[in-house]
Structure 1
Amino acid sequence: MSQPFVYRTIELDGGHLRVAIRPGKADLPPLLVFNGIGANLELLFPFVRALDPDMEVIAFDVPGVGGSSLPSLPYRFSDLAKRVSRMLDYLDVGQVNVIGVSWGGALAQQFAHDFPQRCKKLILAATCAGMAMLPAKPKVLWRMASARRYIQPSYGARIAPDIYGGAFRHDPALAQAFASKVRSGGRRGYYLQLLAGLGWTSIHWLHRIHQPTLILAGDDDPIIPLPNMRLLARRIPNSQLHVIGDGHLFLVARAQTVAPIISSFLAQERQRARIHQA
């Protein structure tokens, strides 16, 4: 049976990060979760519970989201990657496996690039290479540009079929359940996340990501069209692509299908977590 989550509040850079840790076995590297834009850590708990119960999982709310404090200044992905590294220092965690979802997938790429000694394996779910991406349809982009779906859960549930696709197109209960777990940090936190990605792209250094990388894509993803994930798979040398028959939130809608794929990928080399010195 999976262990309950332990919550921590970590003071960093004049603010605080809300962190949730699901304990696991010490001989397995923890899985560090980078969540999507505006998304508090609880939104991925159904996926985490579907994973191997022996796997330690670390999730956190991005500054200005959920229970983390609002930053006083804008930040970039590189700034946040450094803050996450300091968070791991605080938790006395050396090396981790990393999963990044949507917006969090960009942060995961940045973290793997900037701190390769800390990132053992990389999982990219429903994400892209930033400004080099094939964009979504204008209607989807317009709705994603607003924090309204996180501030008004009823609105979020109503537009879920159009922006998330997949199972959300025909299961209103799924959309309602997802919206009910939202803990909004407000508009400013959301827009700071948007600003962090403005002009950002990884396309010119993806070839320098050498960690084993699992790329997960939905075949009905209105936000991240499938060609974006195929581009990541072509540019990252040691990568494999799995296409899931679902939409943008397949980690939520298809947790029982996706979790074994991830567990198998991570279990290919089981050893004590450590930092390799260059």
Structure 2
Amino acid sequence: MGVLPSFLLKRLTAPEFDVAGVVVDANGTGFKEGDEVFGWIPIFQNISTGQGALSQYTRVAAADIVLRPKNVTPTEAAGFSIAGLAAYQALLEFGKIEAGQSVFINGGSTAVGSFAIQIAKAKGAHVAASASAKNEQYVRGLGADTFVDYTKAPLHEQLVAANVTPKYDVFFETAGLMDPALFVHSAAYLAPKGIFLSVGPQGSGVASFAWNVLLRPSFLGGVKRKWKLIQVKSSQEDLKGFAKLVEEGKIRPVVDSVYAFEDAPKAYERLGTSRATGKVVVKVDPTVA
């Protein structure tokens, strides 16, 4: 809402992408009426069809939902899909993490970061994570072995000074920073064959980011480390893999706050503070747990 021109926002579409609910019309798919599911509506589908999650009834592709694990409530599962898939696909498909490796999660209190910590721990990795001091216990409670307070000094300076040994196999930037400093200095803390993953640059400094991360060749001081932008893709297999970890108790929900359907504007106000720890959920049906 803070990026698109206002005239584009006047189109009558239902907003939001993550969803949890009950199937009322299976439409000949492998699901049946009454199935309790969670999933998501891909952003391009939302734009082209107007389908959205913030509605009393919505349509989703069968390939984008899975059965909800019984050990979580619909409200808890409502915040799983996009953040969970981003973390799952980043660490397993691109990071290819293995037991015994070392992973750094920048933005450990964000929704993606919170899931990333849990997924990395579930795979047997040693996990370090950054957040502000007030979120240290939250991040450690998710499984982080090492905590770094990014407010004490620029994070890249702290990591360089720490002389990390062994260096991280995966550095996952989940806060969407535009500042290229973390990548530019990553040779000091990222293994030569490691990978720097990012959910995507946001904010100011586009030119600096493009030059230092995407375009600058190594002979001009470019970083000799692999960088990858993470874009969530539709994959029922990945969604099932994520759900299995939830069912096994290796991933728990990360819900910041819950709002009634009629209070949806207050949910956006909460998001606007940039202080949400985990997901902000809107409960369409007040009777649902």
Same fold (TM over 0.5): no
Whichever of the two has the greater Rg, that structure is: 2
With normalisation by structure 2, the TM-score equals 0.33
Q: Which structure exhibits the higher relative contact order, with contacts defined as CA atoms closer than 8 Å and separated by 6 or more residues?
A: 1
